[in-house]
Amino acid sequence: MITARILIRPKEGILDAQGKTVEGALPALGFSGIEHVRVGRMVELQAESADRLEELCEKLLANPLIEDYEIEIV
Amino acid sequence: MIWGVLQFPGSCDERDAQNACELAGADTRLIWQDETSLDGIDGVIVPGGFSYGDYLRVGAIAQFAPAMAAVKEFAAGGGPVLGICNGFQVLCESGLLPGALLTNEGTRFICRQGDLVVQESSSPWLSEMNAGETISIPFKHQTGRYFAPPEMLESIESNNQVAFRYAEGQNPNGSLNDIAGVTNEAGNVLGLMPHPEHAVDPLTGSIDGLKLFRGPAGVVA
């Protein structure tokens, strides 16, 4: 079995409401000098082969209209 | 006339949708997610709620339910399909409608009455309304920001696939071009974020939602 980590992020240019909210909370917590916060998700899975992972991303794990993904085999 | 109202684990507006269909003069049947046949059904409603917990992405899991395969076949044959709120998200995820829904610009769940402007459309769902008319129905969602990439947006606009826009100054979520609802190219599939099924009784302030349900039914209650 291989272990894959799939990183899914909102596409550049699409307003990331979650990232913006996180960024907005930082000054109140005393953090400065941090910008362009973007929030995505990471899916870790084990598979017999990497052959169909791209198809899995296109069909389910990501929505290619609004999200980019990267597959990393660990 | 029998309308099927889909039910997934996590659906929550299916009873209101049934009530709306019945007030519009149709009989209804709840269709559980694992049903594979829509025999005898004349119209389909994909209701609001949080199908499969909205895990992964809103509407992402529901597109694989057996009942959705039946809905795709039904829609391809020209059958009328209406997706409301989570149902709209499910129809977008399943490719029956163009575009995607993103978290509201302000990230908050919104719940208030608002106005939609009916657009020029050949959809049977809009047959009881006139272009330019305003209807008042509840807005109730957190993931309602309509998005389509530029080329797709242009084709939706030029094909008159925008069915409803938020009235001027009332766009609650940052939707592109104030879009509140879109149809497929043929017009038989309509999805919208606001809730016509919650605006069918004078008790709750507006009965404008009924017009939608009367559209394809061809029944004037």
pLDDT of residue B218: 56
Weakly modelled stretches of chain B, pLDDT under 70: 217-221
Cα B12 from Cα B64, distance rounded (Å): 19
Residues B87-123: tens digit of each pLDDT = 999 999 999 999 999 999 999 999 999 999 999 999 9
Q: Over the stretch B40-58, which tens digit does the pLDDT of each residue have?
A: 999 999 999 999 999 999 9
pTM over 0.90: yes
Alpha-carbon dihedral angle through residues B176, B104, B115, B132, given to the nearest 10 degrees: 10
Judged by a CB distance cut-off of 8 A, whether residue B103 touches chain A is yes
Could you report how far apart the first and last alpha carbons of chain A are, in Å?
11
Domains of chain A: 2-73 (3.30.1280.10)
Name the 3-class secondary structure at B203: helix
Buried b / exposed e along B179-193 (16+ C-beta atoms within 10 A):
bbbbbbeebbbbbbb
pLDDT of the residue at B94: 96
CA proximity to A39, closest of A14, A16, A62, A11: A16
Residue B199 has, within 13 A of its CA and on its CB side, a CA count of: 23
Q: What amino acid positions of B are annotated as catalytic residues?
A: 85, 195, 197
pLDDT at A67 over 70: yes
Q: Residue A14: pLDDT band by 50, 70, 90 thresholds?
A: very high
Please state whether beta strands B189-192 and B81-84 pair in parallel, antiparallel, or not at all (unpaired).
parallel
Q: Residue B216: what pLDDT?
A: 84
d(CA B206, CA B135): 9
pLDDT value of residue B219: 36
Instruction: Walk me through the domains of chain B, giving residue ranges and CATH numbers.
Output: 2-217 (3.40.50.880)
User: Contacts of residue B93 in chain A, CB cutoff 8 Å?
Assistant: 63
Tokens at A17, concatenated:
């409401």
How confident is the prediction for chain A on average, in pLDDT?
A: 95
What value does the mean pLDDT take over residues A38-48? 96
Closest residue in B to A66 (Cα) is: B100
B130 part of contact set with chain A, CB < 8 Å: no
| Residue pair B58/B100 in contact by the 8 Å Cβ criterion | no
Is B137:B172 a contact under the CB 8 Å cutoff?
no
- Where does chain B show beta strands of DSSP type E? 2-7, 27-32, 43-46, 81-84, 100-102, 110-118, 134-141, 145-147, 162-166, 179-183, 189-192
